[in-house]
A and B are shown apart, each in its own frame.
Chain A
């Protein structure tokens, strides 16, 4: 089923926010590298996992969940890789 113009507009707006989201994630990359506090990053990943999934960006959503799991399990090396992949994915989407 084709989306209505209103839905298309909302989806386009979401897609247009990707550079900003990639920027925000890059900022957190520095926090991860320096071993900083990750609570806010987790919240942002949680939000992005939910919204990207709703907008059918399943790969972004799934990577966000993985990164959240790495935070929960204190696997900083994995988190670093996942965040880096996520930034690329968001930039390319």
Chain B
């Protein structure tokens, strides 16, 4: 082909013109070199591409000698490259026997097209990637949606089961209350007709007991529901106070024995102590936990019995509730701790809140609940909690008798309603009370007189309780200070501890609590 082309260029003028036009239109440039690397032909437009203008017969210029060493026998298309002027060029090399011709053409359009193609390919690839990602997101969202849907279905199922449980739980004692009050009414009618007998009175008494039991059960249900509402907002507070554990376990037995009797199962409650019965803990919260746990055990036991064992040793109360009931499968052992969860197919109803609340309360009281169970072999629930010893009951109940002047208390309280009541109650118990209405007066009183104890409110005008305690610390006055505040906020309690207060009582407080704490503080002191 090259041979033909060179012949045409040198011989035929018409074709020469056409070729010139081709060269011009297509912006073709060319040069040819002989085996000695001397230029034997060249176009005049090499300079358009930034190459030097070649002269025939002269050696090839350094700038375009890149073809040296190429196989002169092989026709070759080099890839698009950039010319010295920056224009993309396509180079065709056409070797013949006596020379090598090099055709240079403008590859701008091809390059542009190639770039466009490349860009389109890139964009396409990007779109495919985006599509893949969208598909993945869609799949994830679909899985998430399905999960949420299942959760919602479960929540809805729990809610329905909770409502039906609550309604059943409320209906049973209410029916009992209505029934028994009806019987009492009839008894009263009979008595009014003066035909009442001793037996009728006894019946009425037992009916009223039943009403009271049912009412207490209802109350505990309502308390559980209210407590559940408080779980999330951390509103459940623990108020430790001197407690007679023997009395507490007797109460629990008395309260739950009728329930076990109706199911004809045994209820055994045993309390043993190596250090007396009086401890400091929140008796009503512990009672609530025991009623929930033993009540549950009775509910799920149809044959055999339930055992509540408690042991106080080394200021730790250990409790075990064991039943011979249907047991809980491993699957359900964790789930039963969730609010509203109730094991299906047990035929038992309830609110599904008792265990959740109990676990939280035990946690707040410093204990941890553990459950062991096996289907068909019953369930054992264990927990322990700190139970520091309290002063013996007779010590504080006889305080008034033993020491009219022995306990001298300074009461710093700006609210006269509270100050009046606390002063009178303490005075009736034989305590000598001095009242002041702000922190500054309390500091002054403690500088001038000696007291066994200070009962200090926090929010007071002129000088707050905390400021007063700080002043007392500065003055090295060591009288024990018990803070009495309506604030149950932990930060306030921590501040009191940081300031070295002996105790922190959250209002409302009973006079027994004040005296018991006073006694403990003074013993410690």
Question: Which residues on A are within 8 Å of B, measured CB to CB?
Answer: 4, 6-7, 10-11, 13-14, 17, 43, 46-47, 49-51, 53-56, 58, 61, 65
22 pairs from A and B in contact (CB 8 Å cutoff): A4-B424, A4-B428, A6-B428, A7-B421, A10-B421, A13-B420, A46-B459, A46-B487, A47-B415, A47-B459, A50-B418, A50-B485, A50-B507, A50-B508, A53-B486, A54-B508, A54-B509, A55-B421, A55-B508, A58-B508, A61-B486, A65-B488
Residue pair B420, A50 in contact (C-beta under 8 Å): no
Residue pair B459, A54 in contact (C-beta under 8 Å): no
Residue pair A53, B421 in contact (C-beta under 8 Å): no
Residue pair A50, B486 in contact (C-beta under 8 Å): yes
- Say yes or no: is B425 at the interface (Cβ < 8 Å to chain A): yes
Supplied contacts A46-B459, A54-B507, 11 more A-B pairs, CB within 8 Å: A6-B428, A11-B421, A14-B421, A46-B487, A50-B486, A50-B508, A54-B417, A54-B421, A54-B422, A54-B509, A55-B421
A59 to B184, CA, bound (A): 31
Q: For A49, give its contact among B425, B428, B457, B507 (CB under 8 Å).
A: B507
- The chain B residue with its CB closest to the CB of A64 is B486
Interface footprint category on B: 10 to 19
Known A-B contacts A4-B428, A56-B508; the reply to A50 vs B415 at CB < 8 A is: yes
A55 to B486, CA, bound (A): 13
A46 to B488, CA, bound (A): 11
A-B contact count, CB below 8 Å?
54
A70 to B489, CA, bound (A): 14
- Please list the 3 inter-chain residue pairs (A to B) with the smallest Cβ-Cβ separation, ordered nearest first: A53-B508, A50-B486, A50-B507
Give the contacts of B402-441 with A (CB-CB under 8 A): 415, 417-418, 420-422, 424-425, 428
Q: For A43, give its contact among B422, B424, B459 (CB under 8 Å).
A: B459
Q: Closest CB of chain B to A17's CB: distance in Å? A: 7
Q: For B420, give its contact among A10, A43, A46, A47 (CB under 8 Å).
A: A10
Residue pair B428, A7 in contact (C-beta under 8 Å): yes
A58 to B417, CA, bound (A): 15
Q: B residues within 8 A CB of A53?
A: 486, 507-508
A60 to B457, CA, bound (A): 20
Residue pair B424, A10 in contact (C-beta under 8 Å): yes
Q: Closest CB of chain B to A29's CB: distance in Å? A: 21
A47 to B216, CA, bound (A): 32
Residue pair B428, A51 in contact (C-beta under 8 Å): no
Q: B residues within 8 A CB of A51?
A: 415, 417-418
Residue among A7, A14, A50 with max Cβ neighbours from chain B (10 Å): A50
Residue pair B418, A54 in contact (C-beta under 8 Å): yes
Residue pair B417, A17 in contact (C-beta under 8 Å): yes
Interface code B462-488, partner A: CB below 8 Å = 1, 0 otherwise?
000000000000000000000001111
Give the contacts of B154-204 with A (CB-CB under 8 A): none
Q: Closest CB of chain B to A71's CB: distance in Å? A: 13
- The chain A residue with its CB closest to the CB of B413 is A50
- The chain A residue with its CB closest to the CB of B427 is A6
Residue pair B424, A7 in contact (C-beta under 8 Å): yes
A55 to B424, CA, bound (A): 13
Q: A residues within 8 A CB of B486?
A: 46-47, 49-50, 53, 61, 65
A56 to B487, CA, bound (A): 17
Q: A residues within 8 A CB of B457?
A: 50
Q: B residues within 8 A CB of A49?
A: 486, 507
Q: A residues within 8 A CB of B422?
A: 54
A55 to B511, CA, bound (A): 12
A11 to B507, CA, bound (A): 17
Give the contacts of B245-294 with A (CB-CB under 8 A): none
A17 to B420, CA, bound (A): 14
